[in-house]
Amino acid sequence: MTIKRLVPVLMGCLSLVGVAGASSDKIDPLVSARFGRGNEVSVTILCRSQLLDSPGGFARFCAENAARKRSELRTDVVGRLKALAANGEQEAVLKSIGDVAVDRHWIVNALTAELSPRTIEKIAALDEVKYIYVGFSPVTAPGAGRISEVIRPPKREPFRIGDRTVPWNLKGIGVPRVWEKKDNFGDGIVVAMLEHGVDYTHPDLRNNLWVNAGEKPNNGKDDDGNGLIDDYYGYNFRTGSCEVRATTAQQHHGTMTAGIVAGDGTGGTITGVAPRARLMLLSGSGVYAFQYALEQGADVLNMSFSIPYLGNGRGLWRLMAEHTVCAGLVLVSGCGNFQQKAEIPVQIRIPEGIPCIIGAGGVDQEMKVPSFCSLGPVEWASVKFYGDYPLPEGLVKPDVCAFPGAGYPLLGDAGEDYINNRRGNSFSSPHVVGVAALMLSAAPELPAWRIRELLEETANDLPPRGKDPRTGAGLVDAWAAVSAAEAAAHR
């Protein structure tokens, strides 16, 4: 313990006097492996001052802020993160790297740029630099773009099941009972979908879209002054465009996941767990999505994707996710489909392997884990600045389970209202997201980290007893989870 504490202090002193050995300790081996090819390397430069320490800072923050409202935490934490990003450390780096294109971040106090190996080694010696990771995908310079259809005003009558079909997957996690007995359909909750696009013109989605009230669509102007032109339904940070509509089969993944969150059954089948939640549509790197979702008032973020081989970069994602959860956004991610392709402990990757992110695994209708579903545990002992959750126990993931399919209706693409032959934990995740939306609709001021705790406490445990690395805490139970959220809000 003493030695561990001494090392960073010593490193700090050494870098002050410019000893090269100390500064190279601040360059991720995955970055230096790209040196020597004569190319510039994309890096994300983590500055010294961060809101949370690693690894104990998140648990301390949650304990100290347990009695606070989520809305207060949003304002307070976003303000503190932005103040840290403006504390002069980023400026010191900018001064040192000269005139190159840089993305400055605030969700973590960090910058992303493409730099030469020589410049990277130079800035590693700065006292203001904590560590240099492989870069987040850079944002494409904002362009104009157009939204294919401006839907207004949305038709939002009071929600009724009526004669529409409610499929087995929603019944299996207790959703219709919440609708009928609690009159809770997810009203008032905004769910951000980080996807490759969503067909927002689908009849079952088009009345459930979040819109940026400060932005006039398709006028070529950034009306709300957030730096993004015409970001009406969300934003595509990959293309630098406001258009977030799915047009290819691959992008159609997002239509299916969005349908599980909020498909309202206009076409005859209710696919959505929270058919009165609203959808914010985002594409691109997580860092931009987290910042946008926090600034624009999203409550839950779905991430039905998995990133492998991040090495120490897993720690950068973890810090970013912990800051985001402290700021009141519930993060959920599917646990992946790599059971037959990868050894434990790397079947469950990023973001779903991060402790504060709700990792959704899968079971079929017989409560068996399908052979494609990734299994836990996850290790963090090898990750710079963390070193917790050593194997063999590791971090138990998944956190909870839902249904990955196949065999229940998903939203189809143009010309086909529904399809039912797809499967994967990409679809488990939005079930959990939908339940989180119902919980927050009932108890909007619960801190975001309480949603994961309550989902686990109320899940229906599956063998073996207790939280296990196949099914987590068990199958989510919407009725019990929403009831627990209501009780926690009144405490």
- Max Cα–Cα distance, the chain, nearest Å: 74
The answer to whether the beta carbons of residues 123 and 129 sit under 8 Å apart is: yes
Report, in Å, the least distance between residue 219 CB and Ca ion: 4
Among 132, 205, 228, 350, indicate the residue that binds Ca ion (CB under 5 A).
Answer: 228
Report, in Å, the least distance between residue 400 CB and Ca ion: 11
352 is a site residue for Ca ion (CB under 5 A) = no
Among 28, 89, 199, 231, indicate the residue that binds Ca ion (CB under 5 A).
Answer: 231
> Position of tokens 């899940």?
459
Among 221, 368, 390, 414, indicate the residue that binds Ca ion (CB under 5 A).
Answer: 221
Report, in Å, the least distance between residue 231 CB and Ca ion: 5
Report, in Å, the least distance between residue 143 CB and Ca ion: 13
Cβ neighbours for 170, distance < 8 A, ≥ 6 positions apart: 176, 270, 271, 273
219 is a site residue for Ca ion (CB under 5 A) = yes
Instruction: Tell me which stretch binds Ca ion (CB under 5 A): 122-130, 212-220, 355-363, 451-459.
Output: 212-220
User: Closest CB to Ca ion among 60 and 146?
Assistant: 146
Strand partners, 115: 41
Among 311, 461, 486, 489, indicate the residue that binds Ca ion (CB under 5 A).
Answer: 461
- Judged by CB under 5 A, the chain residues 399 through 458 that form the site for Ca ion are none
Among 40, 76, 223, 417, indicate the residue that binds Ca ion (CB under 5 A).
Answer: 223
The per-residue b/e assignment along 299-322, b for 16 or more CB within 10 angstroms, e otherwise, is bbbbbbbbbeebbbbbbbbbbbbb
Cβ neighbours for 433, distance < 8 A, ≥ 6 positions apart: 191, 260, 261, 273, 300, 302, 330, 332
Report, in Å, the least distance between residue 467 CB and Ca ion: 6
Instruction: Tell me which stretch binds Ca ion (CB under 5 A): 148-156, 217-225, 254-262, 479-487.
Output: 217-225
User: Closest CB to Ca ion among 118 and 465?
Assistant: 465
**Both structure tokens of 389:** 């959750």
Q: How far apart are the first and last CA of the chain?
A: 39
Report, in Å, the least distance between residue 214 CB and Ca ion: 7
Residue 75 falls in which region: left (phi positive, over 0), alpha (psi -120 to 50) or beta? alpha
For 50, what's the count of Cα atoms within 13 Å in the CB-facing half-sphere? 32
The answer to whether the beta carbons of residues 260 and 271 sit under 8 Å apart is: yes
240 is a site residue for Ca ion (CB under 5 A) = no
230 is a site residue for Ca ion (CB under 5 A) = yes
User: Closest CB to Ca ion among 60 and 368?
Assistant: 368
Report, in Å, the least distance between residue 200 CB and Ca ion: 17
468 is a site residue for Ca ion (CB under 5 A) = yes
Report, in Å, the least distance between residue 115 CB and Ca ion: 29
Q: What angle do CA 470, 471, 477 make, to 5 degrees?
A: 175
DSSP letter for each residue of 313-345: HHHHHHHHHHHHHHTT-EEEEE--S-TTTS-TT
User: Closest CB to Ca ion among 260 and 475?
Assistant: 475
User: Closest CB to Ca ion among 334 and 472?
Assistant: 472
Binding-site ranges for Ca ion (CB under 5 A): 215-216, 219, 221-224, 226, 228, 230-231, 461, 468
